[in-house]
Amino acid sequence: MFFQDVIGQEELKQRLIQTVREGHIAHAQLFCGQEGVGALPMALAYARYVHCTNPLENDACGECPSCRKYNKLIHPDLHFVFPIVKADKKKKEVCDDFLPEWREFVLKNGYFSYKHWLGFLGSENAQGLIYAKESSEIIRKLSLKTYEAEYKIMIVWLPEKMHDVCANKLLKMLEEPPQKTLFLLVAEQPEQMLTTILSRCQRVNVRPIESETLRLVLSTRYGLTDQDSAAVAHIAGGNYLKAIETIQLNEENQLYFEYFTRYMRLAYTVANMKRADNPLLKFNALKELKEVADEISELGRERQKQFLAYCQRYLRENFVLNLRVPSLSYLNAKEAAFSSKFAPFIHHRNVFQFLEAFGRAEVEIGQNVYAKMIFFDLALKAIMLLKN
């Protein structure tokens, strides 16, 4: 991982490079950032730059012996600590037992989450931890002299997953670090770490990726139109992993869009029927609405929750359209076409009730409430709200 591989974060890159060039490298640094913003890629790029024997102005050279070892993550003065799942039958209890898998996974993915890592290990339903036994390994590695570089670098990914015994021994190392040792801790939830560790680290905040930067990356890498890339970047909120997930769900979102439009058209039809209208027409419209609700209830729990989350986002976007500020709206072409007629019916008198109803339905689906009842009840609420 080079600095050039880290998406955005240009100001932070330059600040880190400057610390190396000026020789002001803090011995313990805590990279804090939510998943998908590039905290671990930034720490890896920084470690490479520190170890590079011929660093360039804005990045590591990529050609020196150190960089060639980093291409395979086999530099002898680079050490890793990360959450693992004990495999008693295979006697795998410390991070080094998983080092081949870790190298393969990091080199292949670059940006990934805790969930992705456990999935790669085939342990997605388990709880990954940095176990107490790891503390002895940390002490052993850092007590050795460097092999070829000026610094020994220890990258600890997700230190908030540390066992208390391991965390307390790490604290002692941070208080009295071996000479020329650099700790790079990468946390997503630093508030869960020991406050004594936090106080001994220089904090490096990795902020969400700038929306325009993320949009350009999505357009270049995935061939999205400007409108679609802007919509995905907006939904992702600076999280590259969420952006990729959104792109992968495009076909799913198309299905959710079709269900939503059918749902709302039928609800609107029923809502605007008058007493004098043929009762049979009203009955047929309600029957068709129930059929749509039943179809959605067959999607499966996770897809039902995704559908409801999609509906809430789409309702918010339609409300924003009424503000007449195009730059605030993030819809693809099909969504925008439907919203040109639908948006006027989502206004200040009903938008909060709509969002509350769909949000409550999402919670109830997660609690395994009977889905057919939830979605038909939601349809009846939509009828009432569209009358406002």
Tokens 């406050």 correspond to 195
3-state secondary structure of 204: strand
Residues 237 and 253 in one domain: no
Instruction: Compute the distance between CA of residue 57 and CA of residue 243 in angstroms, rounded to an integer.
Output: 31
Q: Say which DSSP state 129 is in.
A: B
Residues 322 and 355 in one domain: yes
What's CA 332's distance to the chain center, in Å? 22
Q: Are 181 and 146 in contact (CB under 8 A)?
A: no
CA distances from 371 to 300, 304, 315 (A): 9, 9, 21
User: What's the whole-number mean pLDDT along residues 270-288?
Assistant: 78
| Extended strands (E) in the chain | 28-32, 78-81, 152-157, 181-187, 202-205
Tell the burial category of 276 from Cβ atoms under 10 Å away from its Cβ (0-12, 13-18, 19+).
exposed
User: What's the whole-number mean pLDDT along residues 178-188?
Assistant: 92
The whole-model pTM stands at 0.73
Residues 155 and 189 in one domain: yes
Instruction: Compute the distance between CA of residue 39 and CA of residue 32 in angstroms, rounded to an integer.
Output: 7
Closest by CA to 161, choosing from 245, 92, 95, 77, is: 95
Query: Which of residues 226, 248, 270 is at a domain's end?
Result: 248
Least confident stretch, 273-277, 332-336, 375-379, 380-384:
273-277
Q: What is the pLDDT of residues 213-264, one digit of tens each?
A: 999 999 998 888 888 888 888 888 899 998 988 887 677 788 899 999 999 9
Residues 79 and 165 in one domain: yes
Tokens 């009955």 correspond to 283
The pLDDT > 70 percentage for the chain reads 95
Least confident stretch, 156-160, 328-332, 335-339:
328-332
Residues 160 and 37 in one domain: yes
What's CA 167's distance to the chain center, in Å? 26
pLDDT value at position 69?
Answer: 96
CA distances from 209 to 63, 74, 102, 163 (A): 29, 29, 25, 31
User: What's the whole-number mean pLDDT along residues 291-311?
Assistant: 90
Q: Could you list the residue range(s) of the whole structural domain that residue 305 is in?
A: 249-385
Query: Which of residues 207, 223, 258 is at a domain's end?
Result: 207
Mean pLDDT over the full length of the chain:
89
User: What's the whole-number mean pLDDT along residues 338-342?
Assistant: 91
- Neighbouring CB atoms inside 10 A of 149's CB total 19
Q: Are 18 and 173 in contact (CB under 8 A)?
A: no
Number of independent structural domains in the chain? 3
Closest by CA to 169, choosing from 204, 196, 199, is: 196
Q: What is the pLDDT of residues 58-117, one digit of tens each?
A: 999 999 999 999 999 999 999 999 999 887 666 678 899 999 999 999 999 989 999 899
Residues 109 and 174 in one domain: yes
Residues 135 and 223 in one domain: no
pLDDT band for position 361 (50/70/90)? Answer: very high
3-state secondary structure of 157: strand
Relative to beta strand 152-157, strand 181-187 is parallel
- One-letter amino acid at 144 equals L
Show the DSSP H helices in the chain as ranges.
Answer: 10-21, 39-51, 65-70, 99-109, 114-120, 134-143, 164-175, 195-198, 211-222, 226-236, 240-248, 250-271, 279-297, 301-321, 333-342, 351-366, 371-385
Tokens 């693992």 correspond to 84
Residues 120 and 97 in one domain: yes
For the domain that residue 34 is a member of, what is the CATH number?
3.40.50.300
Residues 156 and 276 in one domain: no
More reliable by pLDDT, 299 or 157? 157
pLDDT value at position 209?
Answer: 95
301-321 helix and 351-366 helix, angle to the nearest 10 degrees = 170
Residues 241 and 151 in one domain: no
Residues 72 and 144 in one domain: yes
Beta sheet of 202-205, edge-to-edge order: 78-81, 152-157, 181-187, 28-32, 202-205
Query: Which of residues 176, 207, 238 is at a domain's end?
Result: 207
Q: Is the dihedral of CA 153, 2, 202, 149 positive or negative?
A: positive
Supply the DSSP string of 242-294, one letter for each residue: HHHHHHHTHHHHHHHHHHHHHHHHHHHHHHT--TTS-HHHHHHHHHHHHHHHH
pLDDT value at position 42?
Answer: 97
- One-letter amino acid at 233 equals A
pLDDT band for position 328 (50/70/90)? Answer: low
Least confident stretch, 87-101, 117-131, 340-354:
87-101
pLDDT value at position 249?
Answer: 67
Residues 196 and 108 in one domain: yes
Q: What is the pLDDT of residues 14-67, one digit of tens each?
A: 999 999 999 999 999 999 999 999 999 999 999 999 999 999 999 999 999 999
